[in-house]
Chain A
Amino acid sequence: MAVNALTARDLSFGYPDGTAALDGLDLTIEAGERVAILGPNGAGKSTLLSLLAGLREPAGGEVSYFETGKSADDLRDRIAHCPQAPVDYLFNATVREDLEYGPAQLGIDRREAEERVDALAAEFALEGLLDKPPFRLSGGEQRRAALAAALSVEPDLLLLDEPVADVDAGHRETVLDALDRRTEAGMTLVVSTPDADLVPQVAHRVVVLDRAGSIVRDGPVRDVLTDGDLLRDVGVSPPQLVEAFQRAELDNPPLTVTDAVERLRDLDDC
């Protein structure tokens, strides 16, 4: 049986101004899983991710990691969290320093850190940007730089808040491929998004949050995303392909373009 990467029990959180963001939430994620947190704006996805990353103190409940009983602060070399606004994440003078920041804090050998920075820069198409101050980067470049910075510690658990918002199509592939490689190597991935179309590309399992910040559904991607009524109820549009097939009254709607092409060919044949 796989180890649990993360176990949250009865998690509650309210902001100082009285906004109750989460109330009694339970969530267990096994090591190696790819999980999407899907919900409308304001559902509490970002709040949940920062709680899961141990960056806010919950009002009630607790989170444990890798069944170790250690706090998140003791496991910063294994847990990475990339916030929704990459500008908050990139606070160093240059992109290079930002990529080196995590390894430097964790006392990783300099040569090793430099190798990682070079590899990440190539992987995320940041080579020409390494000596620029992060605030001079475009939105999509900042997001790639922030993700690369998060990956520079080679985490076992990555919590990503809306990872491809404002990333262009070409670089979106870059980002998704990079995440695929990491999860194939065993990394646990938790991604938040309000976009159901993104879910099949990043996750196998999806947790749906409603506007009140409660989990209303937790299951395999196919089961959840084909439940259009549930998604519309919480204020999320079902994936476009699902919507199209369901309106055409075709069963078993595809979740990815590749699947859709196959289905359409089959339809054409008969």
Chain B
Amino acid sequence: MATNTVSETAEGLSLRQSRPRYGEKIIRFILALAAFVSIFTTFGIVISLLIPSIEFFMEVPITDFLFGTVWTPLFKNGEFGVIPLLSGTIVITLIAIAVAIPLGLGASIYLSEYASERVRKVLKPTLEVLAGIPTVVFGFFALEFLTQAILIKIFPEIEVFNALSAGLIMGVMIIPTIASLSEDAMAAVPSGLRDGAYALGSSKRQTAIKVVMPAALSGIVAAFVLGISRAIGETMIVTIAAGLQPQLSFNPLMGMQTMTSYIAAAGSGDLATGSIEYKSIFAVGMLLFLLTFLMNIFSIRLVRRFRQAYQ
């Protein structure tokens, strides 16, 4: 057999490409272009953030920016300490996490381990619809309904714009992200592991918590990170419901400004291009970008490790 093939080739059986395949090359180019668009955009964003940020840091020392506790960009001799914006972001994100992680994880365990096929088929898409509601709707819901109709009765001293309502509603907003991705991770756990757990006399709860969840852990953590990134980057809800007062406070009943709502508010105002206030938008944007970028890298790593676990 083998010698036969060799001799045929030697006798001139041509294995070279018989005609050029231009279509193939064009398709390949278009597909590559599609893949590179997002990379180019990311680079574009980084560069457009970087230049004004560098200009900003030539006027405001980076240590003043990172460690300063007063943010008054619109005052004469305004101060640019980003800590109040950072604390606002952190407080609201923590409230959102406190809502979204238990509920999202609970929903995902229910969907993947307890719900019947029929219930899951209805419930999962319904939950995912939540993710499709525009955030501006969530924002008004937080301000008009949650604060005015509920929170004010529980905490009479609450401010109209407050971190609590924004955080709670933001938590609700990211539940679908966390629930849906965690459910995917748990559904990907081989059923043999569940059988193994049940065969050792585990209850449903023990199987879900001691075998399925640890097996899906990196996928679940990646879902958390993605949900948290969304919370950090969320703008509309906080702008509407938490107000625009940059204050260094951990009292969730007070109004707060986050990095995103500062960017949105300042960016839509009439700041003179090239002014220091204008450049501060980019510095804050840069910080926000770096924070979410680091979180995403972290989650990609986790997801990769999660895939490796089952080869």
Q: Decide whether A and B are members of one complex.
A: no
